[in-house]
Amino acid sequence: MATGLRLEDAYMLTEEKYEDLSTPREEAFEIPLKIKKEQGKRAILLKGKKSAPLIVSNLFETRDKLLRILGLKKVEELYELVTKSTMKEDEAFSYEPLEDHYRRIDIGLDALGALKFYEKDGGFYYTSSIIVTKTPSSHNASIHRIMVIDSRRAVARIVPRHLYRVYEDRLNKGENTPVTILLGAHPIVEIASSISPPFDQYEFTLIPHFIGSKVPVVMSPVNQNPVPLGTYFIIEAEMTPEFVDEGPFVDIMGTYDRVRKQPLIVVKEIWALKSEKWMTHAILPGGGEHQLLMGITREAQIWKAVSSVVPRVHKVRLTPAGGGWLHAVVSIDKNHDGDGKNAILAAFGAHPSLKHVVIVDQDVDPDDPYQVEWAIATRFQAEDDLIVVKHARGSTLDPSAQDGLTSKMGIDATKPISASIIFEKAKIPGE
């Protein structure tokens, strides 16, 4: 019998040694504080006093851990995977009977591992929750933060993308929007949900590219949406025409996102995997997992776009201080002196939320801020090598932007093609 993609399997792959802290702990704020303290060190498993499942975190807050979970050696392999085309659902999925793997439970939505992370959060949140809904000819899966109201009601932040489009179409017809909410999904499922293929192309059909075979799925019991087998909780619900307050909540920049009116979600049924233990994934807002989950697919798009205009791209990094979202450093090879500027424009086109990008040569490591600053200091002249784009679409996650409009800056910190020895970084033989 197929077992599917389980969060527990990913947890066991994170490190040779991980920390099991499953003694009951307070959800607010003891668990989030522990998660933050262990960032970059180890994966942890926690048990909340009010929660039925174990809470796992720090699965992939570093690139090395993410690649280990995915069974990859280089981040460029991941870029290749997330930029592949979607498949037809019947070609991508093998279907399993729901009742063989899941059972309906009476536990409320508020007892599945929701956490209050920061002192001014508007409530208890799920931060790795995936919402699946039908589109006219396929399905859509996307990650959304969900704030719990009570055992049967919640509210999610819905940005103007594909789920929002489905919701608006239903709203205009006077209908609720049936949705299936997934909690406790494997990181591969989460990464697939963070990719943005065209509308009417189902994100989960990308999963076979990662696992090398069809992905086992079950049909959700009420809304009949295909969801990956192994996900611990399947929640059948509806998004209603009623709007309620959502937030404040800490976004990827580590700042508070404002309170918004968002659609009320009403739960119909909750089903759980038949398992000796249940698990959910808590992603620390503004932490490493948050940045990588949002940013790694955008890095892939930048890598692909810049690769089309320069001979070679060596590294793309959405930087931690830029939230893994607003700032990028790209190292390239050049054939012409204008290649650096073309790389800047390609990066902005590939990731519209990008605010600043620095282009450097192969000998400068984008992972080292010292080297990047050195390149700007020695290979950049603002009069010739600076590109500024005013009043462009940016990111609402930037608190300095005005309704998402921003000024963008590109810095070409590459040396001239005919560069002499004065541009070379000196080395001692053997270092």
pLDDT in tens, the chain (431 residues): 577 899 988 888 776 556 677 788 888 899 999 999 999 888 888 888 888 899 999 999 999 999 999 999 999 999 999 999 899 999 999 999 999 999 999 999 999 999 999 999 999 999 999 999 999 999 999 999 999 999 999 999 998 899 999 999 999 999 999 999 999 999 999 999 999 899 999 999 999 999 999 999 999 999 999 999 999 999 999 999 999 999 999 999 999 988 999 999 999 999 999 988 899 999 999 999 999 999 999 999 999 999 999 999 999 999 999 999 999 999 999 999 999 999 999 999 999 999 999 999 999 999 999 999 999 999 999 999 999 999 999 988 888 888 889 999 999 999 999 877 888 888 898 87
Contact 272, 286 (CB under 8 A): no
pLDDT attached to residue 31: 92
What is the domain range of residue 333? 308-423
Please report, for residues 142, 169, 204, 207, 214, the alpha-carbon distance to residue 87 in angstroms, rounded to integers and kept in the order given.
17, 25, 9, 10, 11
Total domains in the chain come to: 2
pLDDT attached to residue 418: 84
Around 404, how many Cα atoms within 13 Å sit in the side-chain half-sphere? 7
Same-domain check for residues 135 and 245 = yes
CB contact burial 38-66 (16+ within 10 A = b; e otherwise): beeeebbbbbbeebbbbbbbbbbbbbebb
CA distance 129 to 395: 22
CA distance 182 to 143: 9
- Provide CB contacts within 8 A for 325, sequence distance 6+: 252, 253, 291, 294, 295, 298, 318, 353, 395, 397
Residue 276 has φ and ψ, to the nearest 5°, of -70, -30
Same-domain check for residues 186 and 250 = yes
pLDDT attached to residue 1: 59
Please report, for residues 54, 213, 219, 331, the alpha-carbon distance to residue 367 in angstroms, rounded to integers and kept in the order given.
34, 34, 43, 10
Least Cα distance to 101 among 280, 281, 278, 272 occurs for 272
CA distance 245 to 147: 10
Same-domain check for residues 240 and 156 = yes
Q: Which residue matches tokens 């090398």? A: 212
167 within a domain of the structure (yes/no):
yes
For residue 292, the tally of other CB atoms under 10 A from its CB is 24
Q: Which among 283, 299, 320 is the end of a domain?
A: 283
Tokens of 280: 């959910």
Say whether 100 is catalytic: no
CA distance 61 to 292: 7
Same-domain check for residues 249 and 331 = no
Same-domain check for residues 213 and 336 = no
Among the listed residues 110, 121, 251, 257, the single catalytic one is: 251
56 within a domain of the structure (yes/no):
no
The pTM assigned to this predicted structure is 0.92
DSSP 82-139: HTSPP--HHHHEEE--GGGTEEEE---GGGSS-B--STT-SS-EESS-EEEEE-SSSE
